[in-house]
């Protein structure tokens, strides 16, 4: 089920294995900003709020760093960079666990519009997302939690000069605060990848009922959204609907893989620092081989996971035909590494690692929510095999 990029006109380039100096500088500036604005005290404060983010910080990261539109072409009000820069943003966000509607607005919604929208729709919708003025999200999965677009059951029936949506979406990231909803639905009486398309509507439209779900990971808020005869507009067309959905999901998977690589690095750093500090039996615990070797193994795992995440982003940026397969590979690799790093980080902290006051659980929860979000490792491994034609 490869969706190799016949729809894009960009030529294929060579896949890069190093970041440019400009990309490294961008990362440094971003890391400085996040260290300053998103210390764990802030993460803890925001995760306890209902909206889950700080509008002032959102404004700043939009105005000063142009983050929401980093990968959006300049003609639609973005910064005109691509997947590699988006990957850098995600890695740094994963490292610092910033609480903000970034994944929903920039990664899911903006890419969905870029992939599916007509010229007019892109020009109408993207500038407000790129500037951070408007929040948006993409609703794909339904209460059964299946990420395969073929499983979508929500129906869009022609009504007036648009469509009426009926169905229930779930696991919608930032669904409780988004202004604009993009919804994946199918034409009546269709099944599989036939008849799928994306639709837009305002979140406060009539026939839309939103309910925030109790999220295991409080740093990533999710909602269930019920549509009963809600009036929506078709984004793009039906012919390319399934392709646009898959492409958007693959890009989101790469972004998430980079976020997970950043989170895993934080877990490793935290475990290493603690191992150098904590003394038992008259020596630092980092001098015990059981701990030392665990950390060496984790370092290897984290570097391997980074390679997967970077490579997938570079492949997508280079428009390499293999990039969707590499997206799945990266998702599986980084999910397992992040989860492992988080579990080992708790273990190396001992009893204190199990407390609420210790920060490790914030990343541990993010690790698990990311592992299952957009498809589990086993799901993506199977996808990888299919995409490689095995």
Partner 1 sequence: MSTMNEAEVRAEVREWLAANWDPDMPLVEWRGRLADSGWGMPQWPKEWYGRGLPMALARVVEEELAAVGAVGVAKSGVRLLAAATILEHGSDLHKKRYLRRILTGEDTWCQFFSEPGSGSDLAGATTRAELKGDFWIVNGQKVWTTSAHHADHGMLLARTDWDAPKHEGLSYFIIDVKQPGVDVQPLRQMNGHASFNQVFFTDAKVPKENLVGRVGEGWKVAMTTLAHERRGADGLPPPPKRGTRIGRIHAEERAEAEKANQPYEWYPQRAGRVDLIIDRAKETGTNKDPVVRQEIAKLMTLAKCAEWTARRARAAQRQGRPQGPEGSLGKLAASHVARACARVHTLMTGTAAMLTGPESPREGIIAEILVSVPAVSIAGGTDEIQRNIIAERVLELPKEPRFDTGPFRNVRRN
Residues engaged in binding partner 1 (CB under 8 A): 16-18, 272, 275-276, 283-284, 286-287, 289, 292-293, 295-297, 299-300, 303-308, 310-311, 329, 332-333, 378, 381-382, 384-385, 388, 390
Query: How would you write 322-340 as a 3-class SS string?
Result: CHHHHHHHHHHHHHHHHHH
How far is it, in rounded angstroms, from Cα 248 to Cα 112?
Answer: 5
Nearer to partner 1, 265 or 360 (CB): 265
How far is it, in rounded angstroms, from Cα 225 to Cα 337?
Answer: 32
Query: At closest approach, how far in Å is the CB of 275 from partner 1?
Result: 6
Nearer to partner 1, 88 or 126 (CB): 88
Query: At closest approach, how far in Å is the CB of 149 from partner 1?
Result: 21
Which bin fits 169, alpha (ψ -120 to 50), beta or left (φ > 0)? Answer: beta
Nearer to partner 1, 30 or 329 (CB): 329
Query: At closest approach, how far in Å is the CB of 287 from partner 1?
Result: 4
Nearer to partner 1, 8 or 280 (CB): 280
Query: At closest approach, how far in Å is the CB of 273 from partner 1?
Result: 10
Query: Is 21 exposed, middle or buried, given 0-12, 13-18 or 19+ CB atoms closer than 10 A?
Result: exposed
How far is it, in rounded angstroms, from Cα 59 to Cα 46?
Answer: 16
Q: Is 294 helix (H, G, I), strand (E, B) or coil?
A: helix
Query: Taking a C-beta distance cutoff of 8 angstroms, is the pair 145, 180 a contact?
Result: no
How far is it, in rounded angstroms, from Cα 374 to Cα 192?
Answer: 18
Query: At closest approach, how far in Å is the CB of 330 from partner 1?
Result: 9
Query: Taking a C-beta distance cutoff of 8 angstroms, is the pair 270, 101 a contact?
Result: no
Query: Taking a C-beta distance cutoff of 8 angstroms, is the pair 241, 5 a contact?
Result: no
Nearer to partner 1, 105 or 328 (CB): 328
Distances (CA, A) of 31 to 94, 124, 386: 11, 32, 37
In the structure encoding, which two tokens stand for residue 171, read together?
């696991």
Nearer to partner 1, 217 or 320 (CB): 320
Query: At closest approach, how far in Å is the CB of 358 from partner 1?
Result: 21
Query: At closest approach, how far in Å is the CB of 195 from partner 1?
Result: 28
Query: At closest approach, how far in Å is the CB of 377 from partner 1?
Result: 9
Nearer to partner 1, 56 or 390 (CB): 390
Q: What separation, in Å, do the N-terminal and C-terminal C-alpha atoms of the chain show?
A: 12
Which contacts (CB < 8 Å, 24+ apart) does range 216-219 have?
Answer: 216/365, 216/368, 216/369, 217/365, 217/366, 217/368, 217/369, 218/47, 218/48, 218/52, 218/365, 219/43, 219/46, 219/47, 219/52, 219/97, 219/99, 219/362, 219/365, 219/366
Nearer to partner 1, 99 or 275 (CB): 275
């Amino acid at each position: 089920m490869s969706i190799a990029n016949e729809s894009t006109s960009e030529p294929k380039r060579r896949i890069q294995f190093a970041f440019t100096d400009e990309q490294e500088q961008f990362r440094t500036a971003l890391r400085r900003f996040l260290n300053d604005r998103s210390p764990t005290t802030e993460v803890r404060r925001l995760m306890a709020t209902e909206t889950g983010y700080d509008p002032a910080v959102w404004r700043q990261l939009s105005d000063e760093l142009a983050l929401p539109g980093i990968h959006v072409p300049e003609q639609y009000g973005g910064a005109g960079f691509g997947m590699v820069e988006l990957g850098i943003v995600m890695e740094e966000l994963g490292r610092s666990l910033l609480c903000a509607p970034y994944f929903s607005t920039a990664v899911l919604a903006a890419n969905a519009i870029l992939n599916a929208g007509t010229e007019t729709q892109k020009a109408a919708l993207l500038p407000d997302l790129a500037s951070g003025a408007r929040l948006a999200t993409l609703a794909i999965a339904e209460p059964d939690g299946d990420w395969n677009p073929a499983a979508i059951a929500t129906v869009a029936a022609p009504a007036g000069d648009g469509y009426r949506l009926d169905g229930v979406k779930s696991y919608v990231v930032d669904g409780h605060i988004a202004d604009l909803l993009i919804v994946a639905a199918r034409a009546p009486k269709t099944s599989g990848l036939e008849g799928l398309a994306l639709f837009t509507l305002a979140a406060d439209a009539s026939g839309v009922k939103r309910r925030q779900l109790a999220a295991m990971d409080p740093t990533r808020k999710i909602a269930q959204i019920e549509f009963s005869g809600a009036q929506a507009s078709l984004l793009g067309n039906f012919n390319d609907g399934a392709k646009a959905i898959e492409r958007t999901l693959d890009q989101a998977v790469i972004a998430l893989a980079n976020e997970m690589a950043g989170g895993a690095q934080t877990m490793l750093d935290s475990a290493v620092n603690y191992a150098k500090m904590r003394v038992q039996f008259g020596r630092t615990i980092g001098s015990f081989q059981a701990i030392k070797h665990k950390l060496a193994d984790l370092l290897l795992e984290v570097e391997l996971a980074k390679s997967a995440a970077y490579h997938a982003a570079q492949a997508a940026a280079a428009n390499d035909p293999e990039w969707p397969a590499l997206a799945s590979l990266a998702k599986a690799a980084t999910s397992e590494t992040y989860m492992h790093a988080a579990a080992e980080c708790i273990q190396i902290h001992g009893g204190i690692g199990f407390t609420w006051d210790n920060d490790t659980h914030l990343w541990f929860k993010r690790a698990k929510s990311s592992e299952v979000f957009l498809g589990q490792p086993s799901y993506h491994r199977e996808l990888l095999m299919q995409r490689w034609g095995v």
